[in-house]
Copies of this chain bind each other. A is one copy, B any other.
Amino acid sequence: MSNVKDTCQVEFVHSDNVNQVNSMMESDDNLFELAELFKAFGDSTRVRILHALTFSELCVCDLAQLLNMSSSAISHQLRVLRGQKIVKYRKDGKNVIYTLVDAHVLTLLEQGLQHVKE
């Protein structure tokens, strides 16, 4: 038989903690946006793009060469990164040159890499 509620029966297990934590939590909107931000970092192609931009500004074409992928695929991913304000771009003739938005992004990448290499 299935449970009516798949949560704890005995009121709260640690109700004091739960209530206190609940009062300190960020808004759901902020946390949703935070998840969207990390989601943008959470793809092989996109981290490789971002990691490359750590060293130098690059155009779509450069990135396609560097990652050995179609420029269409790169462009699609850059769109995601632009959407989350992780990269910015400037036009240079036919080329569009991308850079990381700010130091936050760099810090996130570095902290993440440090964690991976522990």
Contacts and interface: CB of A to CB of B under 8 A. Distances in A.
Interface string A96-118: 00000000110111011111111
| Dominant SS among interface residues on chain A | helix
Nearest to A22: B66
Nearest to A57: B17
Contacts of A70: 6-7
Nearest to A63: B18
A112 B37 contact: yes
Contact of A55 (B21, B57, B105): B21
19 contacts: A6-B71, A7-B70, A8-B61, A12-B61, A13-B59, A18-B62, A21-B55, A21-B58, A21-B66, A22-B66, A25-B51, A26-B113, A30-B113, A31-B44, A32-B44, A33-B116, A34-B47, A34-B51, A35-B47
Q: Interface extent on A, as a size class?
A: 35 or more
A47 B23 CA distance: 16
A48 interface: yes
